[in-house]
């Protein structure tokens, strides 16, 4: 169709017309809110690099969960900051660990709010890597044995879903088998399938105190230059029993979201990470852009690329805007 027979501006003239032909719909149902839990009481530590986000003690986490549910957001994902770290990250799978306590508190405060738990060791190990070390190398097979125990401890605490983020080979199958053997075959797995070794994670590492003490994570997280490998990673997780496939980060990897969407018919999640959030907040503070509009445009772009759900620190703000 060519001008003058086709005039696309006709359907852009009014907000009613624009709503009628809008191809991508963003809903509160698409949002998952990440929360950081710490030991103690009455704690609400601001995260300097992530304005509006906090490390929360269990009591304040429960209050935040209630507010999150009241906004219509269907789920949260919990990250824990332990009281003590060690080489094996033992608090990650302790019965009285911070995430295990947080899960119970959130489920008591807001029973209908879905509680997802991040499953990894980086916050809990004194070396800051996502697995068990053999010298200065992360031992893949030793790590998945521990990581699967972390996931099982979360399920026992009452988590509705687990999300392994360590990027060890074979961990989804290990978790699935352990769940099936222990009566948790009903618990879904959201796998961080294509988790890139990204500089966009900087603010999160401050929030979760999870930066590696030596080296980096290039030996297990994905090379930002690779796309076909992401499809292989996702396919492997599907075969191992994942229920949701996640891509992280989101905005710099919209092409990966799109390509995996074309290859896989499972639900796809995208993590709009801390650095993406921080950049928008910083630019808004400087008066360089309209923060709320950029927030919504960004989330719509992630959805348009093919994500079914978005993990984002903007979840409360976006939910409020969508409900306005």
Residues labelled as active-site residues: 195, 248
Chain-centre distance for alpha carbon 135: 30
| C-alpha span between 102 and 115 (Å, rounded) | 10
Q: Which of 65, 81, 82, 61 is nearest to 73 (CA)?
A: 65
Q: Which of 262, 261, 270 is nearest to 311 (CA)?
A: 270
Q: Which of 112, 109, 50, 62 is nearest to 313 (CA)?
A: 50
Q: Which of 99, 210, 233 is nearest to 153 (CA)?
A: 99
HEC secondary structure over 7-25: CHHHHHCCHHHHHHCCCCC
What is the pTM for the complete model shown? Answer: 0.96
**DSSP character string of 224-254:** TT-SHHHHHHHHHHHHHT-SEEEEESSGGGH
Q: Which of 226, 213, 237 is nearest to 138 (CA)?
A: 213
Q: Where are the alpha helices (DSSP H) in the chain?
A: 15-20, 58-70, 98-109, 140-157, 171-181, 202-208, 228-240, 254-263, 274-285, 291-305, 315-323
| C-alpha span between 301 and 293 (Å, rounded) | 12
* Phi (first) and psi of residue 198, to 5 degrees: -115, 145
pLDDT, residue 324, reads: 56
Q: Quick count: other Cβ atoms within 10 Å of Cβ 150?
A: 26
Cβ contacts of 143 within 8 Å, gap of 6 or more? 121, 130, 131, 132, 166, 168, 171
The tens-digit pLDDT sequence of the chain (324 residues) is 899 989 999 999 999 999 999 999 999 999 999 999 999 999 999 999 999 999 999 999 999 999 999 999 999 999 999 999 999 999 999 999 999 999 999 999 999 999 999 999 999 999 989 999 999 999 999 999 999 999 999 999 999 999 999 999 999 999 999 999 999 999 999 999 999 999 999 998 888 778 888 888 999 999 999 999 999 999 999 999 999 999 999 999 999 999 999 999 999 999 999 999 999 999 999 999 999 999 999 999 999 999 999 999 999 999 999 985
The DSSP element (H or E) to which 190 belongs, if any, is: strand 190-195
Q: Where are the domains of the chain?
A: 25-323
Q: Which residues pair with 244 in a beta bridge?
A: 190
* CATH pick for 25-323 out of 3.20.20.70, 3.30.70.141, 3.30.470.20, 3.40.50.150: 3.20.20.70
Judging by beta carbons within 10 Å of its beta carbon (0-12, 13-18, 19+), is residue 178 exposed, middle or buried? Answer: middle
The DSSP element (H or E) to which 35 belongs, if any, is: strand 31-38
Q: Quick count: other Cβ atoms within 10 Å of Cβ 228?
A: 8
| C-alpha span between 140 and 152 (Å, rounded) | 18
């Amino acid at each position: 169709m060519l001008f003058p027979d086709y005039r696309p501006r006709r359907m852009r003239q009014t907000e009613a017309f624009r709503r009628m032909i809008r191809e991508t719909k963003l809903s509160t149902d698409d949002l998952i809110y990440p929360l950081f839990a710490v030991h103690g009481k009455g704690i609400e530590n601001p995260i300097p690099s992530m304005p509006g986000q906090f490390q929360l003690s269990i009591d304040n986490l429960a209050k935040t969960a209630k507010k999150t549910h009241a906004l219509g957001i269907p789920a949260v994902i919990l990250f824990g900051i332990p009281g003590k770290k060690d080489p094996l990250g033992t608090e990650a799978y302790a019965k009285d660990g911070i995430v295990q306590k947080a899960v119970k508190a959130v489920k008591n405060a807001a029973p209908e709010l879905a509680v997802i738990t991040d499953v990894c060791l980086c916050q809990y190990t004194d070396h800051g890597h996502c697995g068990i070390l053999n010298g200065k190398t992360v031992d893949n097979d030793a790590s998945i044995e521990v990581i699967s125990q972390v996931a099982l401890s979360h399920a026992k605490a009452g988590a509705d879903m687990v999300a392994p983020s360590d990027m060890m080979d074979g961990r989804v199958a290990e978790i699935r088998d352990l769940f099936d053997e222990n009566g948790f075959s009903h618990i879904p797995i959201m796998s961080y399938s294509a988790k890139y070794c990204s500089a966009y994670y900087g603010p999160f590492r401050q929030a979760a105190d999870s930066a590696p003490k030596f080296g980096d994570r290039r030996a297990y997280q994905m090379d930002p230059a690779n796309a076909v490998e992401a499809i292989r990673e996702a396919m492997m997780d599907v075969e191992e029993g994942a229920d949701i496939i996640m891509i992280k980060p989101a905005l710099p990897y919209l092409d990966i979201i799109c390509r995996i969407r074309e290859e896989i018919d499972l639900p796809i999640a995208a993590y709009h990470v801390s650095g993406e959030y921080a950049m928008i907040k910083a630019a808004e503070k400087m008066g360089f852009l309209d923060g709320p509009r950029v927030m919504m445009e960004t989330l719509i772009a992630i959805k348009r690329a093919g994500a079914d759900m978005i993990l984002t620190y903007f979840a409360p703000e976006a939910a409020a805007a969508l409900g306005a």
